[in-house]
Structure 1
Amino acid sequence: MTWSPRLVALDIDGTLFSAPHGSSVVDETISPAVLQAVARAVDADVPVVLATGRSTFGMTHVVELLDLRRRDPHGQVLAVASNGSVVFSHPPVEVLEAVTFDASDVVRRILDQMPQVLVAVEEVGVGYRVNRHFPDGEINGQITLQSVEELVAEPVTRVIVRDPESSEEDFHRLAEDAGLHDISYFIGWTAWLDLAPKGVSKASGLADVAARLGVPAQDVLAIGDGRNDIEMLQWAGRGVAMGQASDDVQAVADHVTDTVHADGVARELERWFPA
């Protein structure tokens, strides 16, 4: 029996948008080839679900860029935000599932190691509360300044830790020294650390979406490039790593496609939804 995807899950940064290694700012354009390939999947009545570390606020315009509602302009699209902590539908944004955790202890341990870091907690659908301002363009939405104690006084869906003066390698050491074994965490291509509830990942968020749509994991095609995509690629029936992904991401994938600059998403989708 020939396999074909019944649901397509796509990461955004480094998969749809180019994201230079070592940078936290991306080029928010999608190539015509990728747009056309996604459109063919949607026209084949296969749901396309965005699964990203971005907040809901940073995702809705990508839904519109991809025209994911093209088959039913009055319908809603499901998406996974905040590395799996939030599942929502759009438009309008309606949070269907939000997993929270007490981040006070882990943030304290991190600040004991690196007191200079920037800390942000997500306000779902609104923006972020931060201890100090992040570099321009790195986070969006409404930004509210608070003390660290205020940031983590109540359970949150996600914490971002950032230090523009440090490196990715510094943050790998930070994760080890701070003992981040009681939560889920993801380190980006720069000194950027996402903290999430234990057991939460893009895979857990997608499992929620797939269950709502009645699609088993083995019928899901997932494409991504980052370490926060590893669980998703392992969970999906077909996990595909982008060509520029690091070795540890490619190692868990069923297939490695071209790079984001060579329209890797389009190359993979053309297998299942030919022009």
Structure 2
Amino acid sequence: MAIRLIATDLDGTTVRSDHRTISPRTRAAFAAARDAGIAVVAISGRQPYSIGALVAGTALEGPIIGSNGAVGVDLRDRSLLFEEMIEVDAQRALAERLVDAFPGVRIVSVRDGGNTYVGQYGYVGQRDPGAEHTLWAVDYLEASLDEVLAAPSLKLVISDPEVTPDQLLEVSRSWGIPGVHPTISGAPFLEVAREGVSKASALARLAHGLGIDPGEAVAFGDNTNDVEMLEWAGLGVAMGNATGPALAAADEVTLDNDADGVAVVIERLLG
């Protein structure tokens, strides 16, 4: 296949299991792809400030996609490329059902291009993923649930210490609430985007702007939030450590993220 675009998830895929580093071999593979004229893009559930810290100094330091496809930023000048927001009525409808079903649920709204978190009082867990390594400062505000849901969100982060993300995903998807798209990424919470928004929808937007067909794209991923992207790309590659849904969606499986599985495939394709 003629390759013009390589898109890669970060945690569990390109980044080692320490969630902080990209191996020299994988860095070199992306640099070689870029030098060959192939567009390379990092795409993650993380927010742009956190993605930027992970890919700094690599060939991925350009246009990136965060929040599971809801936001695009060009790291070279920090310009906002696009945002896809969940409407207030839709997020309220989902939140009300979840709170009724799971009284221990607490919710965080991600806004402002991924630079502001508005978290419900009592939220327990890592409030701003990747905050230990950030490319720029972000804000975290505590508020009542009504205030959390009062403005549109790029993403809702939903957790309950007594309920697994898989349980939250199964229940929230079974309701079929219009306007929202729940998913999980391996993090200890449910992640919700606007209906129709996924890594695939964001890549389709980017590819269209570059005149690239899905058949000319390769995508790497390891979890449920990568499924649509793996199905969209001409070649969807799941990691050896991938979950069942990602494995089922992929065209092939490579080595795991700690064994440079992404680099192995890129090297072969550049052959």
TM above 0.5, yes or no, is yes
What secondary structure, in the 3-state scheme, does the structure 2 residue paired with 1:66 have?
A: coil
| In structure 2, distance between residues paired with 1:104 and 1:165 | 22
In the alignment, structure 1 residue 92 sits paired with structure 2 residue 77: yes
Structure 1 range deviating more: 188-197 or 247-256:
188-197
| In structure 2, distance between residues paired with 1:65 and 1:165 | 40
Per-residue CA deviations over 1:38-80 (Å, capped at 9, x if unaligned) read: 11111112111111111112111233142435xxxxxxx2111
In the alignment, structure 1 residue 13 sits paired with structure 2 residue 11: yes
User: Residues 125 and 257 from structure 1, CA distance in 2 versus in 1: closer, same or farther, beyond 3 angstroms?
Assistant: same
- Residues 3, 38 of structure 2: 8 Å contact kept: yes
- Residues 93, 125 of structure 1: 8 Å contact kept: no
User: Residues 263 and 14 from structure 1, CA distance in 2 versus in 1: closer, same or farther, beyond 3 angstroms?
Assistant: same
What secondary structure, in the 3-state scheme, does the structure 2 residue paired with 1:207 have?
A: helix
| In structure 2, distance between residues paired with 1:201 and 1:129 | 22
- Residues 166, 191 of structure 1: 8 Å contact kept: no
Letter in 2 for 1:221: V
How large is the Cα RMSD of the aligned pairs? Answer: 1.9
- Residues 113, 174 of structure 1: 8 Å contact kept: no
| In structure 1, distance between residues paired with 2:57 and 2:127 | 19
2:205 match? 208
Per-residue CA deviations over 1:109-153 (Å, capped at 9, x if unaligned) read: 111112222311112242311013543475233211111111111
Per-residue CA deviations over 1:205-239 (Å, capped at 9, x if unaligned) read: 01111112221111011001010000001111111
Match of 1:135 among 98, 121, 125: 125
2:2 match? 4
TM-score w.r.t. the length of structure 2 is: 0.88
Letter in 1 for 2:118: R
| In structure 2, distance between residues paired with 1:225 and 1:196 | 19
Quote the offset at 1:16 in angstroms: 1.3
What secondary structure, in the 3-state scheme, does the structure 2 residue paired with 1:230 have?
A: helix
Quote the offset at 1:173 in angstroms: 4.6
- What is the correspondence of 1:75-114 to structure 2 with a 5 Å cutoff? 77-102=62-87, 103-114=91-102
% identical aligned pairs: 32
What secondary structure, in the 3-state scheme, does the structure 1 residue paired with 2:158 have?
A: strand
1:245 match? 242
In the alignment, structure 1 residue 62 sits paired with structure 2 residue 54: yes
User: Residues 206 and 169 from structure 1, CA distance in 2 versus in 1: closer, same or farther, beyond 3 angstroms?
Assistant: closer
In the alignment, structure 1 residue 163 sits paired with structure 2 residue 160: yes
- After the TM superposition, which parts of structure 1 deviate over 4 Å for at least 4 consecutive aligned residues? none
1:73 match? none
| In structure 1, distance between residues paired with 2:216 and 2:160 | 39
Match of 1:235 among 225, 232, 235: 232
What secondary structure, in the 3-state scheme, does the structure 2 residue paired with 1:49 have?
A: strand
User: Residues 234 and 240 from structure 1, CA distance in 2 versus in 1: closer, same or farther, beyond 3 angstroms?
Assistant: same
Quote the offset at 1:158 in angstroms: 1.1
